[in-house]
Amino acid sequence: MNESFLLTILILSPLLGIVLLSVMPGNHRFINYMGVLGTVLPLVLTLIVFSLFDRTVSGVQFVEYRQWFELMTSISPNEPYTVAYDLGVTGLSVLFLMLASLITFLASLTALRLKESAKGFYILFLLLELGLLGVFVSENLFLFFLFFEITLVSMFLLVGKWGGFNREKAAFSFMIYNGIGSILLLIVIIVLFVEMKTTNITELTMLLKETDSLEFLSGDTRTWLFVLLLIAFGIKLPIVPFHTWMVRVHVEAPIAVVMIHAGVLLKIGAYGLLRFGVGFFPQQLKDMAVVLAILGVINLLYGAFIALVQTELRSVLAYSSISHMGIVLLGVASFNTAGLQGAVFQTISHGLIAALLFLLVGVIVDRFHTTKLEELGGVASQAPLFAGFLLAAGLASLGLPGMSGFISEFLAFLGLFESMPVIGSVGILGLILTAVYMLRAVLAVTFGERRPLFDGIRDLTAVEIVPSAILLSIIIWIGVYPAVLSNTLQLARTIGIGG
């Protein structure tokens, strides 16, 4: 792939929307539509990247490299530390990129309902998208960190200003936890930079693999770096017990933001673990595989059990996310092709399913003004289409075959059973619990006696059907034909393990 500017254009594309929005008057009739339009350009560009991505060759594609700045240090005066501006996508990141653009676009549609200060909302929203796109196309750690911080700031403001009743508490909680995660990540980045003299991700992966002789970093240092990385991305994923902030955000943030949060932002945790954890420290990961697997099982069962007794739909889904992310950990812990593939599939799949579920929660909030399970019920009588979508989303979430969730969980557990059948057997009970809490929640909303209170409620409108249908079709498409993911992923090449 020759020199191209495609990725730069891609990450800057949300700026067009931001600029246009900022010159429009805040009370303009089309301000929301402008915001939605702003997410279309990045989506189109991502689709171009996705379709041009060559699935037959290995390595990073669409590479852009420019020297950015140099640091002279007294440690090695002759070899300056170079920080570069380099972008590129691999089979792994191109999938995440696609996920980010798509869900941002669909989420922007749900914010069309927003009446007050839509201008500021959409500007921050697009800034968030810029950060997300940047995270997934950064080929070096400095850039990654930079974009990662952009997402934090814009999220903080979005939650804090447009959230629910306890929005400020949620925003601060978000900021503190993620701030701690950032510091840990920064420490890892600096140590790697100082020791390896590069922050390029591919280069680091190669160097760290070749130097198993521990020329650069001692085994102990690597273990510590891996643990720091695990905590940093563990907060994001989240791993129990670092999850409380995430439940708050799920419950308080505006729906469009929760869709992105559950659908993409949390997935940065998985992306980081896969790209940096597995890529940089494979040996350390192998050594700690049992710990990771146990953490995964805890996540899976802990989330599932708590979801079982939640009385409010958003909390059910928040704990469900925790539970599902446990499966990602299990896949990573198994450290074979099946498991890692399962982890990636599960990340993407859960991103789509969570986005769909929260989109529908948005409809509930809009129509019924409550998400308490006991105040809902019998909705299938008045809004059959909505009930159908919610049921389909619930079934997808509990891993129904023919939908993306099944194949992901299947692969993750398949991988786990090769090395750790006992832990796997405990974890697999989570699949039963998932069915229990998911059906409990979904049926509590849709099934049951007709409530006259909800008569005359509007079923899904076109602007809600389209995104729901798109998400559901992709979920089914992946479930029926998983090769659509595995062909792009080319796992063995991307993460660089033989299996």
Q: How far is the CB of 292 from other proteins (least distance, A)?
A: 19
Q: How far is the CB of 400 from other proteins (least distance, A)?
A: 6
Is 299 within 8 Å of 322 (Cβ atoms)? yes
Of 63 and 470, nearer to other proteins (C-beta) is 470
Which of 145, 239, 406, 408 lies at the binding interface for other proteins (CB under 8 A)?
Answer: 406
Q: Does 337 bind other proteins (CB under 8 A)?
A: yes
Which of 294, 443, 465, 470 lies at the binding interface for other proteins (CB under 8 A)?
Answer: 443
Burial class (CB in 10 A: 0-12, 13-18, 19+), 24: middle
Return d(Cα 128, Cα 257) in angstroms, integer.
10
Which of 302, 368, 386, 389 lies at the binding interface for other proteins (CB under 8 A)?
Answer: 302
Which of 37, 191, 426, 428 lies at the binding interface for other proteins (CB under 8 A)?
Answer: 428
What DSSP line would sit under 38-89, residue for residue? HHHHHHHHHHHHHHHS-TTS-S-EEEEEEEEEEE--SS-TTSPEEEEEEEEE
Distance of CA 267 to the CA centre of its chain: 2
Which of 449, 452, 455, 462 lies at the binding interface for other proteins (CB under 8 A)?
Answer: 449
Of 53 and 413, nearer to other proteins (C-beta) is 413
The H or E element spanning position 37 is: helix 31-52
From residue 230 to residue 249, the character string flagging contacts with other proteins as x (rule: CB under 8 A) and all else as - is: ----------xx-xx-----
Q: Does 483 bind other proteins (CB under 8 A)?
A: yes
Rounded to 10 degrees, what is the CA torsion of 386, 389, 390, 393?
A: -160
Cis before residue 238, ω within 30 degrees of 0? yes
Which of 98, 299, 482, 495 lies at the binding interface for other proteins (CB under 8 A)?
Answer: 482
Q: Does 395 bind other proteins (CB under 8 A)?
A: yes
CA proximity to 184, closest of 226, 130, 216: 226
Q: How far is the CB of 499 from other proteins (least distance, A)?
A: 4
Which of 8, 82, 283, 381 lies at the binding interface for other proteins (CB under 8 A)?
Answer: 381
Other C-beta atoms lying within 10 Å of the C-beta of residue 77 = 8
Is 159 within 8 Å of 252 (Cβ atoms)? yes
Q: Does 326 bind other proteins (CB under 8 A)?
A: no
Return d(Cα 43, Cα 379) in angstroms, integer.
34
CA proximity to 400, closest of 454, 458, 489, 479: 479
Q: Does 441 bind other proteins (CB under 8 A)?
A: no
What DSSP line would sit under 87-138, residue for residue? EEE-HHHHHHHHHHHHHHHHHHHHGGG--TTHHHHHHHHHHHHHHHHHHHHB
Q: Does 325 bind other proteins (CB under 8 A)?
A: no
Which of 33, 65, 216, 305 lies at the binding interface for other proteins (CB under 8 A)?
Answer: 305
Which of 24, 37, 186, 308 lies at the binding interface for other proteins (CB under 8 A)?
Answer: 308
Phi-psi region of 180 (alpha: psi -120 to 50; beta: other; left: phi over 0): alpha
Q: Does 55 bind other proteins (CB under 8 A)?
A: no
- From first CA to last CA, the distance across the chain in angstroms is 27
Which of 20, 40, 426, 435 lies at the binding interface for other proteins (CB under 8 A)?
Answer: 435
Q: Does 488 bind other proteins (CB under 8 A)?
A: no
Q: Does 492 bind other proteins (CB under 8 A)?
A: yes
Q: How far is the CB of 51 from other proteins (least distance, A)?
A: 20
Which of 300, 344, 361, 433 lies at the binding interface for other proteins (CB under 8 A)?
Answer: 433
Q: How far is the CB of 277 from other proteins (least distance, A)?
A: 20
The H or E element spanning position 389 is: helix 384-397
Which span sits near other proteins by CB under 8 A: 102-110, 140-148, 204-212, 441-449? Answer: 441-449
Which span sits near other proteins by CB under 8 A: 5-13, 137-145, 221-229, 431-439? Answer: 431-439
Is 329 within 8 Å of 437 (Cβ atoms)? no
State the residues that interact with other proteins by CB under 8 A.
176, 240-241, 243-244, 302, 305-306, 308-309, 336-338, 341, 378, 380-381, 395, 400-402, 406, 410-411, 413-414, 417-418, 421, 424-425, 428-429, 431-433, 435-436, 439-440, 443, 446-450, 481-483, 486, 491-492, 499
